[in-house]
Chain A
Amino acid sequence: MISFLQEPWPWYIAGPILGLAVPALFIIGNKPFGISSSLKHICAACIPSKVPFFSYDWKKESWNLFFVAGIVTGGWIASAFLGGNDAVAISSGAAQTLQNAGITDYSALLPADIFSADQLFTWRGFIFFVLGGFLVGFGTRYANGCTSGHSITGLATLQWPSLVATCCFMAGGLVTTWFILPYLLKL
């Protein structure tokens, strides 16, 4: 049993468990599943300002902060006890492309060529940590949801704006991956 858990989990096990978050959160507390709202609540709780967008009682939405605290803990458990940070067996095609782009480290979830502290004060670090993070936060709030709120909850509840959102997530990601990332990886 434990050795089975140590292996990477296949999509047909992981996907349904992730999808169960939608009905589970409705049933345990009438909450629509979504993660990016937590970033908004962190702003409302931690950055004092009179901005109307952040002037609401974030404590009423604190369930979301408990949920993401759970995700952090879950990440730790998965890597500390279940081999969660082992090498990722990516397809040979993707590996070849990334090798050509100069990625050399394939030993863990993220390549150390990019996501390590040595890159902190480089252009590469600035683009991948700071700018990338900014786009994730700004974009998800502008779109009023992320992969969880739109692509999982929104699609599961058959809402067409979420389908538009999902198509735009993919379109933005595809253009970036194919036309912009090759240049960014040269930094």
Chain B
Amino acid sequence: MRNVKYLLAGLLFGVVLVKSQVVSWFRIQEMFRFESFHMYGIIGSAVITGMIGVWLIKKFKIRTINGENIVIPKKEFDWGIVYGGLIFGCGWAITGACPGPLFALIGVGYPVIILTLLSAVFGVWIYGRWRDKLPH
């Protein structure tokens, strides 16, 4: 039952991803072709809202609903961020979807995207299996 809140948060997130057309291959094409402000507006305003939220959490030492101190994990740099980032960017332009939209599109009713998601899971597995051999 304690996970229901995450299901509901995801549900709202999914509705917004679809209704703002972030999940649309067309919108991603437009973004990479600099033909529209829409996607930049969404990502930019999401970052600013998140930033204000995190600033308020720090400023007022807000705790979780269970009274725990909020811990913001640090993102460590390694070269995987660069290599992986470029590879993901390539996949993003082809499929028109990052991981969140893949899930949302399956809900919208695109069965072929199930194959894309399975292929993404397979890609993660291949990375995990050969991680030691890859430059980081």
A interface list, Cβ under 8 A from B? 5, 8-33, 35-36, 38-40, 42-43, 46-47, 49, 51, 53-54, 62-64, 66-79, 82, 84-85, 88, 90-91, 93-94, 97-98, 106, 109-111, 114-117, 119-120, 125, 127-148, 150-162, 164-178, 180-181, 184
Contacts and interface: CB of A to CB of B under 8 A. Distances in A.
Contacts of B83: 142-143
A7 B21 CA distance: 11
Given A141-B123, A143-B80, A74 B43 contact: no
Q: Is the interface of B mostly helix, strand, loop or mixed?
A: helix
Given A85-B109, A136-B88, A142 B127 contact: yes
Contacts of B78: 144
A71 B5 contact: no
A166 B85 CA distance: 7
Nearest to B127: A141
Nearest to A111: B25
Interface of B: 3-33, 35-39, 41-51, 53-54, 56-57, 62, 64-66, 68, 70-78, 80-100, 102-113, 115-129, 131, 134
A28 B6 CA distance: 8
A149 to B, nearest CB: 8
Contacts, number: 500
A8 B26 CA distance: 14
Most A C-beta atoms less than 10 A away, residue of B19, B39, B73, B118: B19
A152 B47 contact: yes
A40 B26 contact: no
Q: Is the interface of A mostly helix, strand, loop or mixed?
A: helix
Given A29-B6, A75-B23, A172-B92, A22 B119 contact: no
A169 B121 contact: no
Given A66-B7, A137-B120, A144-B84, A23 B95 contact: no
Contacts of B28: 173
A103 B46 CA distance: 31
A23 B56 contact: yes
A48 to B, nearest CB: 11
6 contacts: A36-B124, A39-B124, A67-B9, A74-B107, A147-B92, A156-B51
A135 to B, nearest CB: 3
Contacts of B96: 110
